[in-house]
Structures are given as C-alpha cells and as structure tokens.
Amino acid sequence: QVQLVESGGGLVQPGGSLRLSCAASGSIFSINAMAWYRQAPGSARELVTSITSSGMTNYADSVKGRFTISRDNAKNTVYLQMNSLKPDDTAVYYCNAAILDRTFYRTRDYWGQGTQVTVSS
C-alpha cells in the first residue's frame, strides 16, 4: 500500500508565505515525477507545478516567480514553497506522484488527501 500525506496548509494574509510538504510511504520501489495540483471552489483541478526525478521543473504561468517546487528523494518527499501569496491562490492543494510499487511492480498515479490553503486578510 502506498500513501501520500500532505501537511502545511492554513490561513495566510496576502503577501505571506506557506510551505507545503508531501511524504510518500509504503511499498515504494521508485518515484518518477511528482507534482502539486490545486482546486478552487467551482473550478476544475489544475496543475500548479511538477518536478521530475532528476529535478527538472515546470510551473503554471500564474505561479512562476512566486512558487518553488523541490524534492528530497531520500525522504520520498516533495515540497512547495509559496511566496507572495494572493487571494486567487486560495484552493485545496493536492500532491500527486507517479510511483512504481514493490508489490506488483507497476507504475500508477497516487494522490494525497488535499490540504486547504486560504489567502485572506
């Protein structure tokens, strides 16, 4: 069984910062790409940023220059540093990872449970 557990969401004022973490655990052989998505009320889930196993990153235009994704492969953990937060960043943030598991030796997408980020004064 593979699980992704997120932490670090909360309420922050505009212009503030938050750091999200997502740790993968269980029967893991290897982790390929990891990513953060978000979903605001009434909107579709959207890709915020992704990072490959070798560290190549990609960002949505709306967060470029403000958000930074990183990963610690030894800890099977991905991070999202969010700076200069805006009210439009308010959403539930989901961690995603493409994981090759040890049990069945197959790769599939796994999702975290989501963490709420609210940017408001």
Instruction: Report pLDDT digits (tens) over 4-17.
Output: 999 999 999 999 99
- Percentage of the chain exceeding pLDDT 90: 97
Predicted confidence band at 1 (pLDDT cuts at 50, 70, 90)? confident
User: Helix H segments across 41-117?
Assistant: none
pLDDT for 76: 97
Beta strands at 115-119 and 10-12: parallel, antiparallel or unpaired? parallel
Strand partners, 45: none
* Kind and range of the H or E run holding 80: strand 77-82
